[in-house]
Amino acid sequence: MAATTDAPPAAERRPVILAVDDEPAVLAAVARDLRRGFGERYRIMRTSSGAEALDVLAQVRARGEQVALLVADQRMPGMEGTEYLAKARELVPDAKRVLLTAYADTDAAIAAINEVALDYYLMKPWDPPEEQLYPVLEDLLTTWESGAALEAGGVRVIGHRFSKESHDLRDFLARNRVPANWLDVERDREARELLTIADVAPDRLPVVLLEDGAVIERPSVLELAERLGVVGVPAADHYDLVIVGGGPAGLAAAVYGASEGLKTALVEREAPGGQAGQSSRIENYLGFPSGLSGSDLARRAADQARRLGAELLTMQDATRLRVEGSGRFVELTGGGELSATSVLIASGVSYRQLDAPGFAELTGAGVYYGAALTEARSCRDQHVVVIGGANSAGQAAVHFAQYASRVTMLVRGESLTRSMSHYLIEQIAALENVEVRTGTQAVAAAGDDGHLARLTLRSGDGAEWIEEVDACFVFIGAAPRTDWLDGVVARDPRGFVLAGLDVRDHGWGLARDPFLLETNVPGVFVAGDVRARSVKRVASAVGEGSMSVSLVHEYLAEA
């Protein structure tokens, strides 16, 4: 049986939603509901078997069309829904995947979350679709559209893959969700043709071509941000609450502060999401059984904060905190400052640098700190090394395993069990192209033509050897971003901010005890990873950010 479709005009190329079910009546009902909810934006197609659906996907991709969503029944003869979705993932890896299940198939659906990176499973029947079907699919399609827009964007960046400057620009655009297209001057003929048309010399790379026709040679990240209008400008002279840091804690505080009527501004030095925003997959966050990427979590939270009235000032960094009477002033890069009645420190942490020969010189040219998701597809069929044994390293290894032919994890300790969640350890063990080497560390890096080519490794017994590698991603702990608080806010010996009862012996001058998240400066609070003795988890950071707003209200009530 051939696939049926709503057959749009030839000139119209809407993204495809493909439904598969072997029962004609059910398939007709699924297609009907999909057309009613999404037919104006998407081309709805349907087939009655997994094998037919795979043929349809191959034809759709051959025509250069996009596939947004796959909806498949679990119980189908010949090929179950999970088997079909696993094979379909190889053809259309970016499409969202939904499994239709009966109550008895719930266990299979939950297992499929890991096996085929399932995005959602729906219990049949779902009447009424306005409540049970459309909100779920709309959320998935919004996420897909966001990613598709990023890849089809009008901003084009041309440069060398193994160039720190190129990497920094690509990372900035991706993390700030600016639609952009990357062109490697060494691999893409289009890149070389565009350079000839724009009359740009090869030694002036990277170059950015804007949608308005402007050509910017070798721009800094800040210069590009200003040209794109990403840099935020304060709209008020004074705020009830200024939040420094746009990670989960800061974004949660922005959502709750704005929703409760506080004039709220958030300052973020790079992009909403902070370090968590670079995570390829967060699978233990409450309410998201299929997990979600750090980028997706950041996008949702930032949109929510803006909708509720918070100001998000990106590409701004706090350089100093100044206290004058009841006023709290956050000085910013570029000479500006924000005046506030209360301040939340949520500036988070940054990955520690690996102090070994060659790593500093090759940073951004094969050596990366954090997941650097912009590099994932460039690692296809290559050997990738991940250094570290905690959750961030594990998430990165699982993610890069989708692209690289081989992923090697270097873990200094004797096992992963002390530092990594059990679910990640199980996922890594199930991946044939991931090797975990415990008791092993990288002691040197070397390159060819300016990019990483080899690592010198050392085992626990002191033996050393050289291994050929294509890219290396480092996760060896984190350091707090608190230098801007010197001389004002009390910190522990490692630089993490003290709060609550810990600050009574650090210059606390009021008769009352400090609030739970309050620093030694009344009205200045701290939340998230930057707080001393915090739990380094996304959910706890969100909880602390939310809690801080109630404490701010108490402080404002007594001020």
* pLDDT tens track for 235-290: 999 999 999 999 999 999 999 999 999 999 999 998 898 888 888 788 888 888 87
- Between 339 and 65, the higher pLDDT residue: 339
Q: Are 467 and 444 in contact (CB under 8 A)?
A: no
Other beta carbons less than 10 A from residue 186's beta carbon: 10
3-class DSSP assignment, residue 491: strand
- Could you give the C-alpha distances from 443 to 131, 350, 440, in angstroms and in order? 56, 21, 10
CA distance 413 to 416: 7
The single-letter code of the amino acid at 161 is R
Please return the burial class of 28, using the count of CB atoms within 10 Å of its CB with bins 0-12, 13-18 and 19+. Answer: middle
pLDDT at 407: 97
Length of the chain: 559
Q: What are phi and psi of 410, to 5 degrees?
A: -105, 115
Q: Are 243 and 267 in contact (CB under 8 A)?
A: yes
Q: Are 156 and 188 in contact (CB under 8 A)?
A: no
Q: Are 253 and 348 in contact (CB under 8 A)?
A: no
* pLDDT over 70 percentage in the chain: 96
- pLDDT of 558 higher than 90: no
Domains of the chain with CATH codes: 4-150 (3.40.50.2300), 153-228 (3.40.30.10), 238-350+524-548 (3.50.50.60), 359-476 (3.50.50.60)
Other beta carbons less than 10 A from residue 312's beta carbon: 21
* pLDDT over 90 percentage in the chain: 64
Please give the angle made by the CA atoms of 135, 373 and 220, to the nearest 5 degrees. 115
Instruction: Give the number of C-alpha atoms closer than 13 A to the C-alpha of residue 92, restricted to the C-beta side.
Output: 29
The DSSP-derived string for 117-143 is: ---EEEESP--SHHHHTHHHHHHHHHH
3-class DSSP assignment, residue 467: strand
Q: Which pTM does this prediction carry?
A: 0.83
pLDDT (mean) for 97-118:
76
CA distance 31 to 44: 7
pLDDT (mean) for 214-231:
91
Residue of 369, 372, 417, 366 whose CA lies nearest to 391: 417
CA distance 162 to 172: 16
Other beta carbons less than 10 A from residue 553's beta carbon: 17
Distance of CA 352 to the CA centre of its chain: 19
3-class DSSP assignment, residue 83: helix
Q: What is the dihedral of CA 551, 555, 557, 559, to 10 degrees?
A: -170
pLDDT at 9: 46
pLDDT at 350: 87
- Between 105 and 342, the higher pLDDT residue: 342
Over the stretch 157-182, which tens digit does the pLDDT of each residue have? 999 988 889 989 988 888 888 888 88
- Could you give the C-alpha distances from 314 to 222, 226, 243, 322, 545, in angstroms and in order? 10, 11, 12, 21, 18
Other beta carbons less than 10 A from residue 63's beta carbon: 8
Instruction: Give the number of C-alpha atoms closer than 13 A to the C-alpha of residue 83, restricted to the C-beta side.
Output: 9
- pLDDT of 2 higher than 60: no
pLDDT (mean) for 388-411:
94
- pLDDT of 11 higher than 50: no
Over the stretch 286-342, which tens digit does the pLDDT of each residue have? 888 878 888 889 999 999 999 999 999 999 999 999 999 999 999 999 789 999 999
- pLDDT of 150 higher than 70: no
Please give the angle made by the CA atoms of 502, 343 and 311, to the nearest 5 degrees. 145
Q: Which alpha helices (DSSP H) does 23-163 contain, by range? A: 24-38, 50-62, 81-91, 106-115, 129-132, 134-151
3-class DSSP assignment, residue 389: coil
Over the stretch 110-121, which tens digit does the pLDDT of each residue have? 777 767 778 888
CA distance 108 to 423: 17
CA distance 277 to 433: 26
Other beta carbons less than 10 A from residue 370's beta carbon: 18
